[in-house]
Structure 1
């Protein structure tokens, strides 16, 4: 399924006012994991109050022990500091990578901004080497813009 086709489905989920924000975010994670073959783990991390750390939010995929990530640590922690997308074609080549699963080969993390402030991110792990393109980045930026509107 194309990213353009997925946009309508994402919008429909996020507009479900009868569901909590977490329920909607979980449905978005599920949709992305099911519809994009190389998205093997999809989740959101959010800034944990006034602490310099991220807290795991809704996600789908293998369970993870990484429910709290300090700013600067791992790919997610680096994005919390840099405010920039981070595409990792080969996680083994990263010195500051937090391994979640031996199967993960690549990762993409895109920050989520609300009122100009980085409040979290969407994190995608892939068991496929180097699958992410600029199209993935633009799509995930769009997803985060839509998510920010319901937060």
Structure 2
């Protein structure tokens, strides 16, 4: 079922394939942790040039590390701090081409140079964020942002 990179076909076809795989992985599983674990693995292994992919969950006060793929990460992130905390507070996707130029960036992995963070919102309530890091600057474009926002919306449906 899992289609790791590379994928023969257009980029749009690859994104559609990953979304189909995500839906198949989580459609009948009621456990949120299992679904987030599989979603982070699917992200990490279907997106080239990434070094971290995972989730931070909002506990009512701050973001707390959830399932992920990559090196050990920061455990708690206050709202408004770093890319994750800012995306959560503003409830909007942030694409950061150079994390070292982002005010208040939290450097969990010194190899990360760009990042995209998509807030997880359900019925107007902040659930957490989906975070993907890359060692390349300018790694994430607008087409990938739309794909990742769709990915996040599928994940939110089962949380």
Q: Normalising to structure 1: TM-score of the pair?
A: 0.92
Instruction: Give matches, 1:25-64, under 5 Å.
Output: 25-48=36-59, 50-51=60-61, 53-64=62-73
Q: SS at 2:92's partner residue? A: coil
Match of 1:107 in 2: 115
Instruction: Give matches, 1:47-86, under 5 Å.
Output: 47-48=58-59, 50-51=60-61, 53-64=62-73, 66-86=74-94
Matched, 1:147 2:158: no
1:128 CA drift (Å): 1.4
Structure 2: gaps of 5 or more residues: 1-6, 8-13
Structure 1: gaps of 5 or more residues: none
Q: Is 1:32–1:39's contact at 8 Å kept on the other side of the alignment?
A: no
Match of 1:15 in 2: 27
Q: Normalising to structure 2: TM-score of the pair?
A: 0.87
Deviations 1:33-60, CA, capped at 9 Å, x for gaps: 1111122200111111x32x11111111
Moved over 3 A (4+): none
Equivalent residue in structure 2 for 1:95, among 100, 103, 114: 103
- Note the aligned Cα RMSD (angstroms): 1.3
1:20 CA drift (Å): 2.3
